[in-house]
Amino acid sequence: MKPITDYVDYRRYMQDFYDERKRTSAFTWREFARLAGFVSPTYLKLVCEGKTRLKNDGVERTALAMRLVGYEVDYFRMMVRYAHAKTDYERKKAYDEMLSIAGEHKVKVVDEDAFAYFETWKNPVIRELAPIMPGAKPGDIAKLCCQGVSAGDVRESLDFMTKAGLLKKDRKGNYTQTDKALRGDSEVMPVAIRSMHREMAKFGLAAIDDFALSDRNISGVTMGVDRAAYEQILQELEAFRRRIVTIANATKKVTQVYRLNLQLFPLSWTVPDEKND
C-alpha cells in the first residue's frame, strides 16, 4: 500500500487500507469497525462511501485500527480536518499542516508543487515574463508586473518553478517554459485555484480605473435563462476558452502578459415553479 503522505483524501486512504487487507486476508467491514471500536458493522464502509463522516472521537480509534503510528496519526488527523473544513482558510491551514508533517519526515505530498503554483498570481505571471526577458534580473521582471511584487518575490518564484520543473534555466541564466503539465488532486486544487480566482477578480475590478479603454475590455450581459440554457452557455464558454488558448499559443513574439477572466454567475435565486406550489 502507498505511504499515507501519497493521499489527501482520508476516505480514499481508508478504502485502500481495507482493499489491501481484504486482498490478503478474510478482512471484513465488520472486523474493521470492531477494531476501531464502532458498534455499527457498516459505519466505516459508509464513511468511505461519503455517506457519513468520521467524527473527532473516532479519528484516533480508526488510526489505531489501521496501525498508524507517530507522524502517520498526525497526518491522518489533518486529512480528516481538511476534508471537514467549512472554509477555504481552515482547509488551507490543514493542508499546510499536512505539508509540514510530510516535510519533517522527508516525504513528499502529492500535488504539493501544483498547489503552491496556483496559490498565488505571481507564479503564472512570472512564468510568462521570464522567458521573454532573457538575461533580465528579478528586479527587472518585478518592474514589469502591474501588481506590486518585489525582486525577492520574483527570485523566490523563479527558484520554485525551476525546482518544480515548470521553468528551465540555462547556463546563461535564461529561462524557457517546459512542456510539463500541472495536474492536481481533485480534492486539493480547487482550494488553491479559488484563491487565485479571488486575486484575479480583484485585479479585474481595479483594471476598470487603472487602465485606458484601449488596453482593457470589460463587458457583460444580464440575462434570464433556464438550466438547459445555462449548461449550453458553459459549453460555449469552454469552447471559446480553448480557441483563445490556441490564439495565444500561436503568438510568435510575446510582448505582454494578459489575464482573461470568464465570469458567469447568478444574480438571483431560482424562481419557484408555480405548477409545483
Those residues whose C-beta lies under 8 Å from the C-beta of residue 129, and which sit 6 or more positions away, are: 141, 144, 145, 257
- CATH number for the domain harbouring residue 176: 1.10.10
Residue 210 lies in a domain: yes
- With vertex at residue 75, the alpha carbon angle to CA 17 and CA 96, rounded to the nearest 5 degrees, is 135
Secondary structure of residue 272 in the 3-state scheme? coil
The predicted pLDDT at position 187 comes to: 57
Share of the chain above pLDDT 70, in %: 92
Residue 247 lies in a domain: no
User: Mean per-residue pLDDT for 59-88?
Assistant: 93
Q: Are both 99 and 170 inside the same structural domain?
A: no
Listed residues 105, 136, 160: the one ending a domain? 105
Q: Are both 144 and 187 inside the same structural domain?
A: yes
Backbone phi and psi for residue 169, each to the nearest 5 degrees, phi listed first: -110, 130
User: Mean per-residue pLDDT for 59-63?
Assistant: 94
User: Mean per-residue pLDDT for 170-185?
Assistant: 73
Residue 241 lies in a domain: no
Looking up cell 494578459 gives 258
Q: Angle at which helices 10-24 and 71-84 pack, to 10 degrees?
A: 130
| Tally of domains in the chain | 2
User: Mean per-residue pLDDT for 189-207?
Assistant: 85
Q: Are both 142 and 202 inside the same structural domain?
A: yes
Q: Which of 174, 264, 277 is nearest to 225 (CA)?
A: 264
Q: Are both 93 and 129 inside the same structural domain?
A: no
The predicted pLDDT at position 274 comes to: 66
Q: Are both 210 and 122 inside the same structural domain?
A: yes
Does residue 217 have a pLDDT over 80? Answer: yes
Lowest mean pLDDT among 63-67, 69-73, 203-207: 69-73
Residue 161 lies in a domain: yes
Handedness of CA 218, 223, 225, 229 (dihedral sign): negative
**pLDDT digit string (tens) for 113-130?**
777 888 889 999 999 999
Give 196's pLDDT tier (boundaries 50, 70, 90): confident
User: What is the maximal distance between C-alpha atoms in the chain?
Assistant: 72
Q: Are both 72 and 158 inside the same structural domain?
A: no
Residue 242 lies in a domain: no
User: Mean per-residue pLDDT for 148-163?
Assistant: 93
The one-letter amino acid code at 276 reads: N
- With vertex at residue 81, the alpha carbon angle to CA 77 and CA 84, rounded to the nearest 5 degrees, is 140
Looking up cell 484563491 gives 195
Q: Are both 91 and 49 inside the same structural domain?
A: yes
What is the domain extent for residue 192?
118-218
Q: Are both 63 and 146 inside the same structural domain?
A: no
Does residue 57 have a pLDDT over 60? Answer: yes
- How far is C-alpha 121 from the chain's CA centre? 13
Q: Are both 173 and 146 inside the same structural domain?
A: yes
The predicted pLDDT at position 109 comes to: 63
Q: pTM for this structure? A: 0.61
